[in-house]
Amino acid sequence: MSEEGFSGRQAAGIAGITYRQLDYWARTDLIRPSLADAKGSGSRRRYSYKDLVELKMIKTLLDAGQKLERVRAAFEYLRDLGDDLSSAQLVIAGAREIDMVIHIGALLEGDSEYVRRDIAAVVDAVGQASVGSALVKVILETGFLDEPHIIAGCAVAKAAGADFVKTSTGFGPRGASVEDVRIMRSAVGDAMGVKAAGGIRDLAAALAMLEAGADRLGTSAGSEILEAFSQSTAGSA
């Protein structure tokens, strides 16, 4: 992403819909691009991670046979109530953990209160929908942040009541680093979990992240890492 968020074509591709569908939904206010709306010739809509989740929800409902107008009416009703649609719906659908991306722009601008309220809204929605049983993980996207901003992001996530801080989405400029994890663990102490995700491809990297303070790892190489660990322990037995 050269700009914050996702373009219309990127959002449509990720959600599994056509750009034409997305354009119609945006023009008719079914989906509301939360980063930037089209305001005239040459302007472009920009969609956030939360918008992508809402797009996935709409597509899932339509694929299940719900009529578009019924989906539209349901979304308008929930928005009028002020509910966090993406988080509440994911929990209702059975999710026990919710990942959200911190508002990077507001964090970089120093608007900690805006960031705190944004996270707290998700924490509250998830808590109500799951009766307190689901976890909220706040993704910092550390590849965009320096140390003071990582610390600030952790502090705000902690103040908002989130359960975990996480390094990366996989869409950012890089994955987790050992230094990221050390900074995050130092910032949150024992009060929250820390998840390292992105770029963890072998046993050495996994062990380094755990040693730095990670409680969890996000990796597509899990089978290979476990196999390497099994072999290393067998060899030392």
Measured distance CA(160)–CA(122) in Å, rounded: 9
Tell me the Ramachandran region of residue 102: left when phi exceeds 0, alpha when psi lies from -120 to 50, beta otherwise. beta
CA proximity to 198, closest of 225, 169, 224: 169
CA proximity to 217, closest of 116, 89, 135, 208: 208
Q: Which of 1-5, 26-30, 103-107 has the lowest mean pLDDT?
A: 1-5
Tens-digit pLDDT profile for residues 136-177: 999 999 999 999 999 999 999 999 999 999 999 877 889 999
Map residue 141 onto helix, strand or coil.
coil
Judge contact between 209 and 179, C-beta under 8 A: no
Average pLDDT in the 212-221 region?
Answer: 93
| pLDDT band, residue 228 (cuts 50/70/90) | very high
77, pLDDT greater than 70:
no
> The tokens 């993704």 sit on which residue?
139
Superfamily of domain 97-237: Aldolase class I (3.20.20.70)
234 token code pair = 């067998």
Residues 6+ apart with CB under 8 A from 149: 107, 108
Average pLDDT in the 123-144 region?
Answer: 84
**CA distance to 5, 26, 46, 157, per residue, from 56 (Å):** 16, 14, 16, 25
Question: What's the pLDDT at 2?
Answer: 41
pTM for this one?
Answer: 0.64
Beta bridge partners of 212: none
| pLDDT band, residue 87 (cuts 50/70/90) | low
Beta bridge partners of 138: 100, 165
CA proximity to 136, closest of 125, 144, 150: 125
Domain boundaries, the chain: 1-82, 97-237
83, pLDDT greater than 60:
no
Mean pLDDT, all residues of the chain: 85
110, pLDDT greater than 70:
yes
Judge contact between 176 and 168, C-beta under 8 A: yes
CATH 1.10.1660.10 fits 1-82, yes or no: yes
Please list the active-site residues: 99, 166, 195
Measured distance CA(23)–CA(21) in Å, rounded: 5
